[in-house]
Structure 1
Amino acid sequence: MPELPEVEALRDFLTDHLVGHEMARVLPVAVSVLKTYDPPVSALQGRPVTAVGRYGKFLAVATEGGPHLVTHLARAGWLQWKDPLPQAPPRPGKGPLALRVALETGAGFDLTEAGTQKRLAVYVVGDPWDVPGVARLGPDPLADDFDEARLAGLLAGERRQIKGALRDQSLIAGVGNAYSDEILHAARMSPFKLAASLTPEETARLHAALRTTLTEAVERSRGIAAGRLKAEKKSGLRVHGRTGEHCPVCGDTIREVSFSDSSLQYCPTCQTGGKPLADRRLSRLLK
């Protein structure tokens, strides 16, 4: 799933490639992709793009005097830039193509989604905050005012594990499964530690890890073409998706806890005092 750093890189990429150009055609291909009907998709056509914004994991393309095209790529969605786009119009079907945006230059992009669970979403709205998912977002962790006190206030009273708190978009916007693993590894913190139990020192450590991990990931992704961002994300991860490999910090073996639809990875030496965490499906979680 694209998370804050990749979506920020896509925002930069689209700013360079879209702003000042006219949306000649916006063509929904998958029946499930378009979540709004008023204003219609046709309201975007013929309008120059004025800006591209990021709201958590949402991308918003603004047009001159018209609506915004907002998308959430979900777990298996992606943006593919093509210069030029194919001449033939896209055909609805069972393929990955969900929506195509063509510019007056002949270039443009496709939104695609792999797999059978179609969750990629596109909205045509007067304001990005009209999208329910955007309206529910918590603060951006890279915002200038996101300091230790802000994080402490968000976590106070959170009687759930810190891994789940970091992934809650209504609490903190933009962090998903992969970067929550990376942040907790950098903070030397168990993913099962209760969020409300953090000491001031632990909160400071988590805040530093959160900001540093995301900032470094954004910098690694900056300037990389959209098609190479997935590979760049994977190459920069230290624990997520690396079960069985050696921790780059201490050399211990990276372990995994599996859930029904996801998994987490962690280093026992760095994060849990050397103790393996129990699988949630089999026994109580260790704190």
Structure 2
Amino acid sequence: MAELPDLTVFAQILSRKFAGKTLKEIDVKVAKKLKGTVAELKEALEGKKLIEVLREGKTLQFKFSSNHVLGMHLMLRGELELLDQSNPEPKFLVFGFHFAGGGGFAVTDRLKQATPTLDPVKAKSPDALEISEADFITLLAKKKGMVKEVLMDQKVIRGIGNSYADEILWDARISPFSLSNAIPEKVAKKLYASMVSVLREAIDFIAKENGDELRGELRDAMKVHGAKIEKSPTGKEIKSEKIGGRTAYYTDEQKMYS
């Protein structure tokens, strides 16, 4: 699943390529996840200029000159592809966006779960790169669950998924099994700093690797999260265990707070 760094870069690329262009047609191949009708979606967006593409949590937000916003959640297997003469209709097409003057992009998903929402309601939970240190510390202190589950809970904090939760916790040297409200304030400050630095460094890496191409999720810079990674950069053996049905990767150098 695409997480905050991937989606931030996707938004940047799509803005560079299509902001200022008029959407000629939105081709809806799979409408089962669409709230409302295809006709309503077309009425709101076709013939309108795309102003910018932003990321909100784990969604992309397409802002149009009609003052409508299209939110897009790629879900587990959704991907973005550029449309051109060599790739006019990719496999597993869910939505195709065609712009006046040629060119466009597609949302593909073999599971057909990618979810569009016209004019989505602003989420109440803070974004991982917008929350303040003080609010983050307060948030942790109020939660009794394991800290990895708290970081991944989109109703608590938006943008972080399984992969980057592991990377952030390793960087902060905190066990993913630690209880959130047992983490001391000094350590919580370190966790906040790790969250910001890990996510921003990942954005920079992915942006450099992708250039102007939508390459999909990149995990090449992961330090501990991945079945093929045997040792951390410090030489410690990487272990794995399920937390809430998802595999957590960690090392013994991460301290437990309970």
TM-score by length of 2: 0.90
Whether contact under 8 Å (2:82, 2:214) holds in the other structure is yes
2:127 corresponds, among 140, 149, 168, to 140
Identity %: 28
The one-letter code matched in structure 1 to 2:15 is: T
Whether contact under 8 Å (1:244, 1:253) holds in the other structure is no
2:113 corresponds, among 98, 103, 119, to 119
| 1:84 Cα deviation after fit | 3.8
The one-letter code matched in structure 2 to 1:111 is: V
| 1:34 Cα deviation after fit | 1.8
Q: Tell me which residue corresponds to 2:76.
A: 75
- SS of the residue aligned with 2:165? helix
Mark the CA change 1:21 to 1:154 in structure 2 (over 3 Å): closer, same or farther.
same
Alignment partner of 1:7 is 2:17? no
| 1:148 Cα deviation after fit | 2.4
Between 256-265 and 16-25, the greater mean CA deviation after superposition: 256-265
**Counterparts of 2:36 and 2:123 in 1: how far apart (Å)?**
15
Alignment partner of 1:161 is 2:161? no
Mark the CA change 1:5 to 1:194 in structure 2 (over 3 Å): closer, same or farther.
same
Whether contact under 8 Å (1:41, 1:124) holds in the other structure is yes
Correspondences of 1:241-280 after superposition (within 5 Å): 241-242=226-227, 245-249=230-234, 251-258=235-242, 261-268=245-252, 270-272=253-255
**Counterparts of 2:206 and 2:223 in 1: how far apart (Å)?**
16
* Structure 1, gaps ≥5 residues long: 274-285
Q: Tell me which residue corresponds to 1:16.
A: 16
- SS of the residue aligned with 2:219? helix
Q: Tell me which residue corresponds to 1:278.
A: none
**Counterparts of 2:144 and 2:164 in 1: how far apart (Å)?**
21
**Counterparts of 1:252 and 1:218 in 2: how far apart (Å)?**
26
Whether contact under 8 Å (2:10, 2:214) holds in the other structure is no
| 1:194 Cα deviation after fit | 0.4
Mark the CA change 1:178 to 1:244 in structure 2 (over 3 Å): closer, same or farther.
closer
Q: Tell me which residue corresponds to 2:222.
A: 237
Q: Tell me which residue corresponds to 1:280.
A: none
**Counterparts of 1:85 and 1:103 in 2: how far apart (Å)?**
16
Q: Tell me which residue corresponds to 1:100.
A: 96
Whether contact under 8 Å (2:94, 2:108) holds in the other structure is yes
* Structure 2, gaps ≥5 residues long: none
